[in-house]
Amino acid sequence: MLEIFDYEFMQRAFIAGLLIATLASISGTFIVLKRYSLMSETLAHSALVGVAVGLVAGYNPLWVAVIVAVLSSWLIEYLRSSFSLYSDAILSIILSGSLALAVIIVSLGGAFNNSLFSYLFGSILSVSSEDLVTIMLFGSLALGLLLIFSKELFFICYDEEVAKTSGIKVKFLNFLLVTVVAIIIALSIRVVGSLLIGALMVIPTAAALQFRVGFKNTMLISLVFALFSVIFGMTTSYYYSLPSGATIVLSVIALFIISLVINKK
Amino acid sequence: MQLEFKIPIFDVKNLSFIVRENTILSNISLEIFHGEYIAIIGPNGGGKTTLIRMLLGLEKPTSGEVRLFGKKMKNFKEWHKIGFVPQRASLVDENFPATVEDIVKMGRVAKRGIFAGFSKEDAEVVEDAMAKMDIIHLKDKMIGTLSGGQRQRTMIARALASSPEILILDEPNTGVDMVSQQRFYKLLSKLNKEENITIVFITHDIGVIADDITRLFTINQQAAICNNPKETLSCEDMSALYGIDAHLISNHKHDCSGESGC
């Protein structure tokens, strides 16, 4: 078809990108409706601590990122549900704390190089076969959990207390959701980069919400927007040698603006 | 009373709730039986909502106990038997991406197994709940586009979709116009009489519902239970009930307009 698919690394990057678009947009629908948008940014920075540890210690950065992001998501959810703290303040503390920690680890380990840059902004050149297997493995687990509990999660997004009084295990499902989101974010930083993954999670849903349609359709529109942005962004990234995370995010922002304009009341 | 031989839906014993040395509720004991239609009144800040939240397990009492259908709160699992419509029901997020049908279907979520999809029975119950609340024609409308009264009926339909034995409503008329309110009380009364659903609700409109209710609870830190609500609505009683805080009585003067001694 297109010459860009002649390269094996582009095939890998596209498969990884489309998987991540699916995961980010579906989990993003719940994240936006639960007013957890800042959570995705915070977890992305926590994942960076994992990347730093991985780079310095010589482990697969993606695996360590998944572990650190999940632990961080549990810490956030625990602090949020057990102490009377403002949740955006908690997120802000963990976000900056993680970034500081990541920078110190990387500096001490002398790993401040191009490899780190690719984890910050995403790079289509860097998706290895091992990365792709990791993304597929954890990605299908994350997607499976989201789909199994989608009705319960939707109810919780609508009204957490009423969901609780209906017998839904709200605390468990909140932990499950943040865990799944942490995994998705850690997996995404290869392609989109930790500084930009929050956007791929939040903006497709924010754009889809402008169409004022029911839950399923909102999720579908969000998915289509995310897939389109990844395809368009990666292609642009390939032809103009730009970081893929940045081109993907600008594509999705363009879709958001279009959605905003055509749905103006 | 013959009802006393049955296990109450709610059995509240010596319930107290104290937050940072402020007593919100003190030593409340009451029972709610199947088939009752109970109104809860009392001044703002008197602890009505806190009581409801403790009945539903949303707040833990400082001391005392709530039993549901004869079971201790921590052992109670059949939450679908209880339908709850919170105070903010008609004040939903306008941008929330849900149709009326999406919302009513939520009522079935906790009832079905995790891996089960919506069954034909679920669809019928949802349809039936919407029919009872007269919102079938709105089922594809977005919740944010509805009027206060329509939203309120949607929330009750959601609660009904779990086939509850009791409906608990916290000031359900917040943000709803007068005409809708009248219609709403008729619906509640019908659910109580025809569907045999026990109803408990917090309100300020005691005058409007006095004819239908079976008992009246007045909550102002402590509880007073009136088995004959019509008698209770005299001005002297109202003053006594709200009398713990004289400042609040004056806010409720309009409840007994035209009568002396208020």
Closest CB from B80, B98, B105 relative to A166: B80
Chain A environment of B167 (Cβ under 8 Å)? none
Helix (H, G, I), strand (E, B) or coil at B21: coil
Give Cα A64 to chain centroid, integer Å.
16
Answer whether residue A99 shows pLDDT above 70: yes
Query: A214, B98: Cβ pair inside 8 Å?
Result: yes
pLDDT band at B207, cuts 50/70/90? low
Among candidate residues A6, A8, A10, A23, the one with its CA nearest the CA of residue A136? A23
Assign B89 a pLDDT band (cuts: 50, 70, 90).
low
Q: Does A104 touch chain B (CB under 8 A)?
A: no
When scoring A151, A161, A205, A210 by the number of chain B Cβ atoms within 10 A, the one with the most, hence best to mutate, is A151
pLDDT at residue B255 tops 50: no
Amino acid B219: pLDDT: 84
Residue B116 contacts A, CB cutoff 8 Å:
no
Give the mean model confidence (pLDDT) for residues A204-231.
94
Nearest CA in chain B to A32: B96
B164 to chain A, any CB pair closer than 8 A? The answer is no
Q: Is the pLDDT of residue A122 over 50?
A: yes
C-alpha–C-alpha distance, residues A144 and B4, integer Å: 50
Q: Does B59 touch chain A (CB under 8 A)?
A: no
Check CB contact of A119 with chain B, cutoff 8 Å.
no
Tell whether A82 is within 8 A of chain B (Cβ).
no
Q: What is the pLDDT of residue A18?
A: 93
pLDDT in tens, A141-157: 999 999 999 999 999 99
CA distance B144 to B99: 9
Residues in chain B within 8 Å Cβ distance of A167 = 77-80, 110
CA–CA min distance A214, chain B (Å): 4
* Nearest residue of A to residue B89, measured between CA atoms: A159
Average pLDDT over residues B92-102: 86
A6 touches chain B (CB under 8 A): no
A93 vs A87: CA distance, rounded Å: 10
Residue A58 buriedness (CB in 10 A; 0-12 / 13-18 / 19+)? exposed
Q: What is the ipTM of this complex?
A: 0.81
- Looking at residue B253, its pLDDT comes to 37
Which residues in chain A have Cβ-Cβ distances shorter than 8 Å to B86? 159, 161-162
Of B240 and B182, the structure prediction assigns the larger pLDDT to B182
Copy the structure tokens of residue B35: 């088939």
pLDDT, residue B234, reads 55
B239 residue type, one letter: S
| Cβ contacts of B57 on chain A, cutoff 8 Å | 164-165
Range of A115-124, A247-256, B82-91, B180-189 with top mean pLDDT: A247-256
Evaluate if residue A100 carries a pLDDT over 70.
Answer: yes
Asked if B110 lies within 8 A of A167 by C-beta distance, the reply is yes
- b/e B175-187 (16+ beta carbons within 10 angstroms → b): bbeeebbeebbeb
- Interface check A166 vs B, CB under 8 A: yes
Taking CB atoms and an 8 Å limit, are B109 and A212 in contact across chains?
no
Give the pLDDT confidence score for residue A221 in this predicted structure. 97
What tokens appear for B127 in the block? Answer: 């349809």
Q: Do A208 and B84 touch (CB under 8 A)?
A: no
- Residue B201 backbone phi and psi in degrees, to 5: -145, 150
Tokens encoding A29? 């629908």
Measured between CB atoms, which of A161, A168, A209 is closest to B110? A168
B115 has a chain A CB within 8 A of its CB:
yes
Q: What is the pTM of this model?
A: 0.85
Task: Calculate the dihedral angle through the C-alpha atoms of A30, A31, A35, A39, rounding to the nearest 10 degrees.
Answer: 160
The H-or-E segment that residue B25 falls in is strand B22-32
Please indicate whether, in this complex, the C-beta atoms of A148 and B114 are within 8 angstroms of each other: yes
Other beta carbons within 10 angstroms of residue A173's beta carbon come to: 19
pLDDT band for A180, please (50, 70, 90 cuts): very high
CB contact (8 A) between residue A151 and residue B109: yes
- CB half-sphere exposure, A22, CA atoms < 13 A: 16
Mean of pLDDT values over A153-170: 90
